[in-house]
Chain A
Amino acid sequence: MHAFEYQHAETIEGAAEFLTQDNKAQLLAGGMTLLPALKSSLVAPTALIDLKGLIELKGACVDGDALVIGALTTHVEVAESEVINSAIPALTRLAANIGDAQVRNRGTLGGSLASNDPSADYPAAVLGLEAVIRTNRRDIPAAEFFTGKFETALQTDEIILAVRFPIPEQAAYVKFPNPASHFAIVGVMVVRDARGPRIAVTGASACVFRARELEDALRTDFNEHALDGLKFHREDLIDDLYATAEYRAHLVMAMARRAVAMASTRG
């Protein structure tokens, strides 16, 4: 690995200041995306600023009609949280199936979102639930946050503090995992609330997206059979050694049906 400096962040302001002064510095949370990238020289930061000591960025609470989860909350902490499971059980199930146990022990919500891996699970939940990403500078709606493959709306000196998830009436996330990595070959988040049904898809394309035509089909009848006979089509589906674009299109429908069925029965 190339040489870099390493610092513990003492405060959020201090970490932001460091990023302002050195735009090649990078934030480190759980490191489950960053460390493999560092080891294979995909990234070459001048410095790493470790956020793990900022315990104020950990934990979850219900605030009015929303669930707020701190950016440094690990996947295992989400999976085991009573607060989260009572408010949005789809999130605890999602977190319990990310990667393997060792990734879940270390990886964080904020880290996953900032990386925006095309096959990551959390982006589907954040986009589907129309969550808001709170940073040290502003609130970013999910629809504006995910801008492309490994790209987000975050500025270089911006730090995710927490994510605010509006609590839905029903939601479920179902994925078809890569059997080795457990990344989603296709993952579908289905949400139903007063604003109507929403479907967000991860893994299928370079960036998480909403499947509006499937949402339309569910608007009058929120039932898996409302999707019968529909075929999913999109130009930019990933076509690689794990799955062809055609197979991914099929998986979008299959996962969507399962997610609708699960949301209907389990909330």
Chain B
Amino acid sequence: MAQEIEFNLNGEQITCAVEPPTLLVDLLRDRFGLAGIHVACETSRCGSCVIHIDGRSVKSCIILAVEVDGCSVMTIEGLADGERLHPLQTAFGDCGGRQCGFCTPGMVMSALDLLQHNRDPDESEIREWMEGNICHCMGYHNIVGAVQAAASELQADTEV
């Protein structure tokens, strides 16, 4: 039986009815058209579907939609400030961290969680943190560089 849930999605308050077995990733992509959440492995290994719930990164393919009742959900679509991209989004482009682009939204959302809890991670901390995100282009080097560049940019922003 469908259940009504209420949650905040990228700043907007949402009420909708979902069947309990509906996965969060399917609700967000199919009902709300948030196709920036990518689906690859569907086994919680690859990290393409990473979003934030209440400020922490999670894999939306192993969370039920009903579980976010009362929560705050942010996807890659909610990251930019209007037309102004978030420093992480800019850095992935500038540093060649995007390659084919498929893993990028998940990578960015994972890295955002890291930078929100550790402003100045070193390379090994970034690599360890990003373990749950797989890049099939194997372009990890530039991805790590992009996270470092974004960390510097964000620190410069707060110092101004």
A interface, CB within 8 angstroms of B: 1-6, 8, 28, 31-32, 35-36, 38-39, 48, 50, 52, 76, 99-103, 105-106, 180-182
Contact = CB atoms under 8 A, between A and B. Distances in A.
Dominant SS among interface residues on chain B: mixed
Contacts of B59: 102
B96 interface: no
B69 A8 contact: yes
Given A5-B20, A35-B62, A101 B1 contact: no
27 contacts: A3-B19, A4-B21, A5-B1, A6-B64, A6-B66, A31-B62, A31-B63, A31-B67, A32-B62, A35-B62, A35-B63, A35-B64, A48-B20, A50-B66, A99-B132, A100-B47, A100-B131, A100-B132, A101-B114, A102-B50, A102-B132, A103-B132, A105-B56, A105-B58, A106-B56, A181-B45, A182-B131
A3 B19 CA distance: 8
Interface in B10-61: 19-21, 23, 42-45, 47, 50, 56-59
Nearest to A177: B131
A81 to B, nearest CB: 14
Most buried by A among B47, B66, B67: B67
A5 to B, nearest CB: 6
Interface string B138-157: 00000000000000000000
A50 B63 CA distance: 12
A105 B113 CA distance: 10
B44 A4 contact: no
Interface string B62-94: 111011010000000000000000000000000
Most buried by A among B42, B44, B66, B110: B44
* Chain B interface bracket (under 10, 10 to 19, 20 to 34, 35 or more): 20 to 34
Contacts of B44: 32, 35-36, 102-103
B57 A6 contact: no
Contact of A101 (B3, B57, B69): B57
B62 A6 contact: no
Given A32-B62, A106-B58, 7 more contacts: A2-B21, A3-B20, A31-B63, A35-B62, A50-B67, A100-B131, A102-B50
